[in-house]
């Protein structure tokens, strides 16, 4: 049905009531031709656009294009609606004022057809809604940026508006939710009836439904979540505004906290020590089961000093003041109640950044304290013995089989106990015959390894082709001729000491493998894939200058530094001649006791011993005495009083002579053989492999003869 209204002036056919309404209306009224030209506008409309009167607006383009921003097809469609129905109501449009500012107006458009005219006009009524639009925009901004998920629920429970936080929680888009989904559809089935009851009670029984509560919801993917809801009604409507926070993580944390508290309570009760909590006035608020059993009763409500220690006043050592200032205090105290020692850890418990309780944990340490007391007594005793031992060492002339009282030997005696107490590698420097093996054995005997093997290896006497199998052992079938398993030196010395004599003769290839083995990486026996990690302490000896060998590339630097941890230098005999009488007496009375019966060494020969330079050191002295006692000959190289240059290749071989005596041929041959073997050994510095090669016999035969003639102690 068409609705036609008549406009101002001629368009209103001059009717007074029409003109009065046009002029006095508080709404803006404007009449526009079908071409979009302003025909007339009232004062209210002029004011809306920022002009003083309508006259100023005539001829000015107010951009009153009712169908702006529409494509031609949609524009024609809107015009046709007005032409067919006579009006187009309830539209909102943006305009610009005289000063260029923007305002919004609510517009109703009507069609005007003047009488006796086939033409038509558009009459529009404008209401300025700029302030309302601003408020809506502010509310929309607040709605979107409230910080919580927010949505509007209609009276029929339809969700009519949601913000971004809502969609993030549930996984739905706005278009999928707004006006399409009812709120109960998102509630967990177990909470759905409760939520519906709150919804209707809030609308029909005000005050009966809570404004805040918790419930479970389901996301689009079916994931269960916990939310905390706040609900408020929009006045004079059936709508409610709902905001909520996702508290799923808080719920999970609370669950874990409850589980941990239950577990902690179990641990506290099962704890062997004692735990109790007190207030600032020493009142016990809680005790664990063990403490209740110790005291014989539940002491909650009593004072800790009375319940725990049977005192009538706070303990003299009490740290309560420090704890209530926020400090944790650990103490060791002796309880006057039972005389036992306890370790006490006192910790503050905080609430709202202040200390409200003191938690005390007590552990019985009586056994440890008594052990400490014994250790202190033992330490005092050992320190006293150590002082006494040092005093004895300073004046002693012998340590085991090591003989001498010279200052140089006193230094050696002082080093041996310290080296024995250490786990580090030791390297002994000294010329051939100075007693390096004796010192190595003394270190072993004074170490914690003394009950385990002491294995001696003459590194220069092992053929190159056998050295790896000798050190690491081999398994049956590992190589041609390996008809049984054989342990190597490292395996034999496990938990004990491996003495590497003449360590400078070890080849570079073996140095690498030895280094890995003694540093913990282990080794593989020849013919085996089983890794062995021996527990071996290395004591090495050399008569060569190892740093020179390092520079020449004959000793690896890492191998040298691994050995050179605790170095010790043994002085040659020529630097400690005051020890010669002691050594002679030792050899004469103990080593060769079965060879003499005259009661002592002739004094007339001592001067010759003191004058000699002893290039072969103690070993040469022993051999000279051995020959004297065995053959009745006293023969040393050089003349008395003449210094003989040091010969590092060993003493010159003694001429082979044999006394003419009435003795069986066999004894004479054995005497000659013994002397020959001794001379060759001395000429090769007791290198048994080279000696065997010179004598044209194998090493096994040489070893048997050395043992037969008693030369193994020479």
We report the CATH number of the domain holding residue 526 as 3.40.50.300
Identify whether the C-beta of residue 348 lies closer than 8 Å to the C-beta of residue 355.
yes
Q: Which of 5-9, 79-83, 500-504, 638-642 bottoms out in mean pLDDT, i.e. has the lowest? A: 638-642
305/419 same-domain check: no
How far is Cα 141 from Cα 129, in angstroms, rounded to an integer? 18
466/420 same-domain check: yes
For residue 441, pLDDT over 90 is answered with yes
Task: Tell whether 31 is covered by a domain.
Answer: yes
For residue 243, pLDDT over 50 is answered with yes
SS3 for 486? strand
Q: Which of 351-360, 524-533, 600-609 bottoms out in mean pLDDT, i.e. has the lowest? A: 600-609
- The tokens describing 270, both together, are 């099962």
Task: Tell whether 390 is covered by a domain.
Answer: no
**What is the extent of the structural domain holding 304?**
271-364
Task: Tell whether 278 is covered by a domain.
Answer: yes
SS3 for 506? coil
480/557 same-domain check: yes
pTM of the model as a whole? 0.41
CATH number at residue 319: 3.30.450.20
Is beta strand 224-233 parallel, antiparallel or unpaired with respect to 240-246?
Answer: antiparallel
DSSP 131-172: HHHHHHHHHHHHHHTSSSEEEEE-TTSBEEEE-HHHHHHH--
Task: Tell whether 633 is covered by a domain.
Answer: yes
How far is Cα 682 from Cα 680, in angstroms, rounded to an integer? 5
How far is Cα 699 from Cα 704, in angstroms, rounded to an integer? 9
- pLDDT tens digits, 91-144: 788 888 888 888 888 888 888 777 666 677 878 888 888 888 777 776 677 677
Instruction: Report residue 687: phi and psi, to 5°.
Output: -85, 100
Q: Which of 199, 252, 201, 197 is nearest to 226 (CA)?
A: 252
- pLDDT tens digits, 577-589: 998 888 888 887 7
459/490 same-domain check: yes
Task: Tell whether 141 is covered by a domain.
Answer: no
Task: Tell whether 557 is covered by a domain.
Answer: yes
DSSP category for residue 303? B
Task: Tell whether 326 is covered by a domain.
Answer: yes
Residues in the chain: 714
406/553 same-domain check: yes
- The tokens describing 708, both together, are 């037969």
Give the residue from 132, 165, 193 where a domain finishes: 132
162/279 same-domain check: no
- The tokens describing 36, both together, are 């979009």
480/539 same-domain check: yes
Please name the helix (run of DSSP H) or strand (run of DSSP E) that holds residue 562, with its range, or none. Answer: helix 557-563
* Residue 157 buriedness (CB in 10 A; 0-12 / 13-18 / 19+): middle
The answer to whether the Cα torsion of 469, 473, 479, 483 is positive or negative is positive
Q: Which of 13-17, 429-433, 558-562 bottoms out in mean pLDDT, i.e. has the lowest? A: 13-17
- The tokens describing 474, both together, are 């081999």
Give the residue from 340, 364, 388 where a domain finishes: 364
Please name the helix (run of DSSP H) or strand (run of DSSP E) that holds residue 440, with its range, or none. Answer: helix 436-445
- pLDDT tens digits, 676-703: 888 888 777 777 877 887 888 888 888 8
pLDDT at 604: 74
Number of folded domains in the chain? 5
236/338 same-domain check: no
- The tokens describing 662, both together, are 């009435």
297/321 same-domain check: yes
- pLDDT tens digits, 459-497: 888 887 788 888 888 888 777 777 788 888 888 999 999
For residue 294, pLDDT over 60 is answered with yes
449/556 same-domain check: yes
35/115 same-domain check: yes
How far is Cα 379 from Cα 162, in angstroms, rounded to an integer? 80
Identify whether the C-beta of residue 609 lies closer than 8 Å to the C-beta of residue 623.
no
Task: Tell whether 119 is covered by a domain.
Answer: yes
Identify whether the C-beta of residue 576 lies closer than 8 Å to the C-beta of residue 406.
yes
How far is Cα 572 from Cα 235, in angstroms, rounded to an integer? 113
Identify whether the C-beta of residue 442 lies closer than 8 Å to the C-beta of residue 460.
no
233/182 same-domain check: yes
Q: Which of 448, 291, 298 is nearest to 359 (CA)?
A: 291
For residue 19, pLDDT over 80 is answered with no
pLDDT at 279: 92
């Amino acid at each position: 049905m068409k609705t036609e209204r008549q406009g101002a002036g001629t368009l209103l056919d001059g009717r007074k009531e029409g003109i009065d309404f046009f002029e006095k209306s508080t709404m803006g009224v404007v009449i526009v031709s079908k071409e979009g030209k302003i025909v007339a506008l009232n004062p209210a409309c002029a004011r809306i656009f920022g002009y003083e009167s309508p006259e100023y607006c005539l001829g000015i383009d107010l951009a009153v294009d009712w169908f702006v921003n529409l494509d031609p097809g949609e524009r024609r469609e809107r015009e046709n609606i007005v032409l067919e129905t006579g009006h187009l109501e309830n539209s909102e449009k943006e305009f610009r004022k005289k000063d260029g500012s923007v305002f919004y107006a609510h517009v109703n458009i009507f069609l005007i057809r003047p009488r006796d005219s086939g033409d038509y006009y558009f009459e529009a009524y404008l209401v300025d809604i700029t302030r309302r639009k601003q408020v809506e925009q502010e509310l929309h901004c607040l709605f979107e940026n409230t910080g919580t998920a927010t949505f509007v629920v209609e009276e029929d429970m339809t969700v009519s508006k949601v913000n971004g936080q809502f969609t993030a929680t549930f996984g739905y888009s706005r278009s999928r939710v707004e006006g399409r989904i009812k709120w109960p559809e998102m509630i967990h089935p177990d909470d759905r009836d409760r939520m519906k009851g709150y919804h209707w009670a809030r609308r029909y029984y005000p005050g009966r439904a809570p404004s805040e509560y918790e419930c479970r919801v389901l996301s689009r993917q079916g994931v269960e979540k916990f939310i905390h809801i706040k609900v408020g009604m929009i006045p004079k409507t059936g709508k409610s505004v709902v905001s909520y926070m996702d508290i799923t993580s808080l719920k999970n944390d609370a669950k874990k906290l409850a589980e941990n508290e239950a577990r902690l309570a179990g641990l506290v009760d099962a704890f062997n020590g004692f735990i109790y909590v007190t207030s600032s006035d020493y009142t016990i608020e809680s005790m664990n089961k063990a403490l209740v059993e110790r005291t014989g009763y539940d002491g909650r409500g009593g004072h800790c000093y009375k319940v725990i220690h049977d005192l009538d006043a706070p303990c003299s050592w009490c740290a309560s003041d420090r704890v209530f200032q926020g400090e944790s205090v650990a103490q060791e105290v002796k309880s006057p109640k039972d005389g036992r020692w306890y370790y006490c850890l006192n910790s503050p418990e905080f609430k709202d950044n202040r200390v409200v309780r003191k938690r005390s944990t007590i552990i019985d340490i009586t056994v440890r304290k008594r052990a400490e007391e014994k250790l202190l007594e033992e330490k005092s005793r050992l320190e006293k013995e150590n002082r006494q031992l040092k005093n004895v060492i300073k004046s002693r002339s012998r340590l085991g089989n090591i003989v001498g009282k010279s200052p140089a030997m006193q230094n050696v005696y002082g080093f041996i106990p310290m080296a024995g107490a250490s786990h580090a590698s030791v390297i002994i420097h000294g010329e051939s015959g100075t007693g390096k093996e004796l010192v190595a054995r003394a270190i072993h005997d004074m170490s914690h390894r003394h009950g385990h093997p002491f294995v001696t290896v003459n590194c220069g006497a092992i053929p190159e082709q056998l050295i790896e199998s000798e050190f690491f052992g081999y398994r049956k079938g590992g190589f041609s001729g390996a008809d049984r398993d054989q342990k190597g030196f490292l395996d034999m010395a496990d938990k004990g000491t491996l003495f590497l004599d003449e360590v400078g003769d070890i080849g570079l290839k073996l140095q690498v493998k030895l280094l890995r083995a003694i540093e913990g990486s282990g080794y593989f026996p020849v013919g085996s894939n089983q890794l062995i990690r021996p527990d071996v302490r290395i004591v090495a000896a050399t008569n060569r200058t190892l740093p020179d060998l390092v520079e020449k590339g004959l000793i690896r630097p890492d191998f040298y530094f691994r050995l050179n941890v605790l170095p010790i230098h043994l002085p040659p005999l020529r630097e400690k001649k005051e020890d010669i009488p002691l050594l002679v007496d030792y050899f004469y009375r103990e080593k060769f006791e079965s060879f003499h019966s005259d009661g002592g060494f002739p004094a007339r020969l001592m001067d010759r011993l003191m004058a000699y330079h002893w290039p072969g050191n103690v070993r040469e002295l022993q051999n000279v005495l051995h020959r004297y006692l065995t053959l009745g000959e006293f023969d040393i190289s050089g003349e008395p009083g003449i210094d003989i240059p040091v010969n590092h290749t060993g003493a010159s071989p003694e001429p082979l002579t044999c006394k003419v005596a009435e003795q069986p041929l066999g004894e004479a041959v054995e005497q000659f053989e013994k002397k020959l073997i001794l001379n060759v050994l001395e000429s090769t510095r007791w290198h048994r492999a080279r000696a065997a090669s010179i004598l044209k016999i194998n090493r096994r035969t040489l070893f048997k003869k050395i043992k037969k003639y008693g030369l193994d102690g020479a």
